[in-house]
Amino acid sequence: MNPPNPLDVLLEWCSILGSGSRGQFDAACDGLLPDQSTPARLLSRLESMGHIDVDWDRSGRWAVIPPTLALIEGSGGNAVLLGARTGGTWQRLVELRRRGVVKDLMAVASSDAYPSTWFVGVASGDDLDSTAAELGGTAVTEPVWWALNHFADLRAIVESARARFVPSGFQAKTFDAPRLRFVDAEVTKDDWPPGCFEQRSQGKHRYIFVNDNGERHILDRWVAVHAELDRCRRRGVAVPDVLTWDRRSQRMANLAGAQLPVQWARAAILCTGLPPHRATQASWTDIYEGVKVTLWKGFCEALAIPLVGEDLSRFDEELR
């Protein structure tokens, strides 16, 4: 008997427990994760794939999302099962296929670093609804657009996160936008210059963005990074093109040093249901497949990123 994919096992474990603490998750991962991976990284991936939500900042709690059958545009009738799933879910899907409600069923493991994607083939909207109901969940069509349209853009998010009190600046690091990495910073006590900073506080990494007016904001890491990139661009500082798109291959490339915040990463993944491929030959880059031009423009508009098309055929070999 072949051992099951440990990441699928961990997702099933989350689905049975429903919710839990970071400590619980770390303990469950012990001995199950592939090399080079960490529980936090896996938790983040499960989150971007739409299986769980994580309250990273406050309680550290994670909670699995109820089963959601999301119809993927361009898939030819294949929906992706997001949220909770167990061996029982698969058995029910097999039963539905036998009854003809589900036309096809496929689990695609496209990466060792992510759980597999379950494609559920249906023939009509009614079948989509009834299949979701049989799994104890709901169906969603056009999930990408829902995700994209629901969330506020970068500037609104930054504005909403203005903070009067921020950590002290002790042993903080600053984001070097041209090089897309955090480096040691000299921040004297509570005297923050404009920029993006990382500091450990209360056992967690905090990300502080200070705009040119000296206003401080405590943000998610990737929101803070994109806010700083936006600030640099407006000041004429050259920064890398972090989100490019190739019309020919319908691929979107996102530099790993400036990843999409989770709500947009989730939308990008839902273009196919498949996780991004991490290209590691040159600058580490996440390649998302099947991204339509309108969606890419939507990402760029939301994150204040200039539109830059790019020939991404150099990744063909690595992606094959």
Partner 1 sequence: MNIDTWNEVLAGWFLNEGPHRPVYLSSTGAELQRMNDELRLGVADIEEDLRLTVSRATYHCGIRTHSVWVRSDRIAPPPWLAFLAASVLVVQRQTDAGSTEFYNAFSRFLGMVQRLTQREYEESFFVWWGWLALWLEKTHEGRRGFATWRGIPESGPRSVIGHPYTQVLLRREDRRDLDGFLADFGSEHDELPELTDRLQAGLHLVAALRRWSSGRRMLTTRLRSIIEGGSESSVESLAYMLLDRLFDQKAENQESSARRIAVVPVFDELERELHLAAIAPATASLEAPLVLRECTSPMTAPGQPSFLRQIPTGEMLSGGIEMDTPPDLTLVGAGREVHALARREWDLWCGVRTVEDGEEVYFLAPLGMDARLQMRATRRVVANMPSGWTVYGPGLFTPNLEHRAGVALLAKERLLVPRLRGGAALDSRRNYLVGGEPTVELPGASEPVVVDGSRHAVINEELALNELGLGAGAHIVTAGPFRIPFATISGSRLPDVQVALGRTQTGIVVEASDETGGLIAGVKLLNGTPQRGPARLSPVVDRVTLLGSLGEVATVDVGRAGWADRLTLPRTALELAARSTYANGERVIAFPLWLAWVDESGWTVARWDLSAASGAEAMTKSTECQLWRAVVTEIGSDPAIFRYEADLLVRSEELLEMWRNYISPDASE
Q: Which of residues 31-50 bind partner 1 (CB under 8 A)?
A: 31-32, 50
CB 260 within 8 A of CB 254: yes
Site string for partner 1, 82-111 (x = CB under 8 A): xxxxxxxx-xx----------xx-x-x---
Compute the distance between CA of residue 195 and CA of residue 229 in angstroms, rounded to an integer. 9
Nearer to partner 1, 37 or 86 (CB): 86
Nearer to partner 1, 167 or 257 (CB): 167
Compute the distance between CA of residue 41 and CA of residue 47 in angstroms, rounded to an integer. 10
Query: How many residues sit close enough to partner 1 to count as binding (CB under 8 A)?
Result: 108
Residue at 286: amino acid letter: D
Q: Residue 35: which residues within 8 A CB-CB, separation 6 or more?
A: none
Tokens of 268: 């990008």
Quick one: which segment of 67-75, 209-217, 238-246, 303-311 binds partner 1 (CB under 8 A)? 67-75
Nearer to partner 1, 165 or 236 (CB): 165
Binding residue for partner 1, selected from 46, 96, 140, 243, defined by CB under 8 A: 140
β-bridge partners, 200 = 205
Nearer to partner 1, 52 or 232 (CB): 52
Site string for partner 1, 256-275 (x = CB under 8 A): -----xxx--x---x-x-x-
Question: Does the protein bind partner 1 through residue 150 (CB under 8 A)?
Answer: yes
Binding residue for partner 1, selected from 48, 68, 116, 244, defined by CB under 8 A: 68
Question: Does the protein bind partner 1 through residue 276 (CB under 8 A)?
Answer: no
Torsion angle in degrees (nearest 10) through CA of 293, 77, 50, 281:
-50
Q: Min. distance of Cβ 238 from partner 1 in angstroms?
A: 28
Residue at 23: amino acid letter: G
Query: How far is CA 2 from its chain centroid?
Result: 29
Question: Does the protein bind partner 1 through residue 67 (CB under 8 A)?
Answer: yes
First CA to last CA distance, the chain: 29
Nearer to partner 1, 272 or 285 (CB): 272
Cβ neighbourhood burial of 17 (10 Å; 0-12, 13-18, 19+) = middle
CB 232 within 8 A of CB 261: no
Binding residue for partner 1, selected from 161, 242, 253, 295, defined by CB under 8 A: 161
Binding residue for partner 1, selected from 40, 44, 77, 215, defined by CB under 8 A: 77
Nearer to partner 1, 202 or 238 (CB): 202
Quick one: which segment of 134-142, 174-182, 276-284, 307-315 binds partner 1 (CB under 8 A)? 134-142
φ, ψ dihedrals at 57, nearest 5°: -80, -35
CA atoms within 13 Å, Cβ hemisphere of 119: 20
Q: Min. distance of Cβ 210 from partner 1 in angstroms?
A: 19
Which of the residues 188 through 207 are near partner 1 (CB under 8 A)? 200-203
CB 51 within 8 A of CB 83: yes
